[in-house]
Amino acid sequence: MGHTLLANGATTLLGLINSIVISRSLGPGGRGELAATLLWPGLLIYLSSMGLIVAAVYFSSQASARPQVLLNNLIAFGVLLSALAIPIGFFALPWLLRSQSSAVVHASRWYLAVIPLSLLNQFGLGILQGRLRLRWVNRLRLIMPCGYLVGTIALLLSHQLTVMNIVAVQLVLNLVSLLATIVVLAIHGVHPNFKIDLDLGRRMFGYGCKVHLGQVSGLANISLDQALIAAWLPPAYLGLYVVAVSVSGVPQLFASAVEAVTTPSVGQKESRNEQRELALAAFRRYWRVSLLIVVSMAALLPLAIPVIFGSSFKSALLPAEILLLASLFMGARQVLGGVSFALGDPWLGSKGNIAGLLGTVILLYLLLPALGIVGAAIASAGAYFAEVAVILYGLRRRHAIPTAQFFRLHSKVEMAQPLLAVKD
104-117 tens-digit pLDDT: 999 999 999 999 99
Most distant pair of Cα atoms in the chain: their distance: 60
Has residue 76 got a pLDDT over 60?
yes
- Give me the phi and psi of 192, to 5 degrees please: -70, 140
Q: Where are the domains of the chain?
A: 2-416
* Residue 312 pLDDT level (bands cut at 50, 70, 90): confident
Has residue 121 got a pLDDT over 90?
yes
Nearest to 82 by CA among 51, 110, 49: 49
Which range (119-123, 128-132, 224-228, 369-373) has the least confidence? 224-228
| Confidence (pLDDT) at 423 | 42
Distances (CA, A) of 235 to 19, 103, 212, 230, 231: 16, 13, 30, 7, 9
Q: Which of 5-14, 263-272, 379-388, 401-410 has the highest mean pLDDT?
A: 379-388
Distance CA 26, CA 36 (A): 14
Share of the chain above pLDDT 90, in %: 19
Half-sphere exposure of 15 (CA within 13 A, CB side): 20
Judge contact between 333 and 391, C-beta under 8 A.
yes
Distance CA 178, CA 183 (A): 9
Has residue 27 got a pLDDT over 70?
yes
Has residue 152 got a pLDDT over 80?
yes
Q: Is 55 helix (H, G, I), strand (E, B) or coil?
A: helix
* Residue 220 pLDDT level (bands cut at 50, 70, 90): low
| Confidence (pLDDT) at 214 | 64
Q: Is 421 helix (H, G, I), strand (E, B) or coil?
A: coil
Judge contact between 343 and 275, C-beta under 8 A.
yes
For 247-272, give the DSSP string.
HHTTTHHHHHHHHHHHHHHHHH-SSH
Distances (CA, A) of 23 to 16, 102, 310, 313: 10, 21, 8, 9
